[in-house]
Amino acid sequence: MERICLFPGTFDPITLGHTDVIRRAAGLFDKLVIGIGVNASKEPMFSLEQRVYWMQEIFEDDPRIVAASYHGLTIDFCKELGANYILRGIRYVSDFEYEKAIADMNRMLAPGIETVFLTCSPLYSTISSTLVRDVIRNKKEEAYQFLPKEVRW
């Protein structure tokens, strides 16, 4: 059985913390799908197309890693992909509490899909897309230190 994993998020924008988790997780699975979810309650800074493009550029040299967008429940997208794992990155203990609640709900909806938690490297633990968006709004070029080189505007 192929080990397919979905790493869901909005990735608005993708940060070095995200890429760290993705690169380390890629070796654990046969295929890692970066699922860029559309959240109706959030107004993204960057278009869905732009975020997918950045993912494709960043991971173009690794055929195990692909990017796709989706609407609706993450668990439904897992089923559509045939994914049997969901990857979630954890920076702090508070992240775990929130993510565990989601993982428990997903397990009740689809018992055969496991959630895997991977902690962020300490170097990137303070980086979040929310904080990076704040820096972008005020000091655009200074945000580049938190982003992969492919993420430029």
- Burial letters 42-79, b for 16+ CB under 10 A, else e: eebbbeeeebbebbeebbeeeeebebeebeeebbebbe
CA angle 115, 119, 1 (to 5 degrees): 35
CA angle 72, 77, 78 (to 5 degrees): 145
Q: For residue 83, which of 11, 12, 14, 25 has the smallest C-alpha distance?
A: 25
3-state secondary structure of 80: helix
| Residues paired with residue 34 on neighbouring β-strands, in sequence order | 7, 67
Catalytic residue among 3, 42, 137, 140: 42
Catalytic residue among 23, 71, 125, 129: 129
What are the tokens at 147? 């982003």
Please indicate whether residue 91 is annotated as part of the active site: yes
Please indicate whether residue 18 is annotated as part of the active site: yes
Catalytic residue among 24, 79, 91, 128: 91
Please give the positions annotated as active site. 18, 42, 91, 129
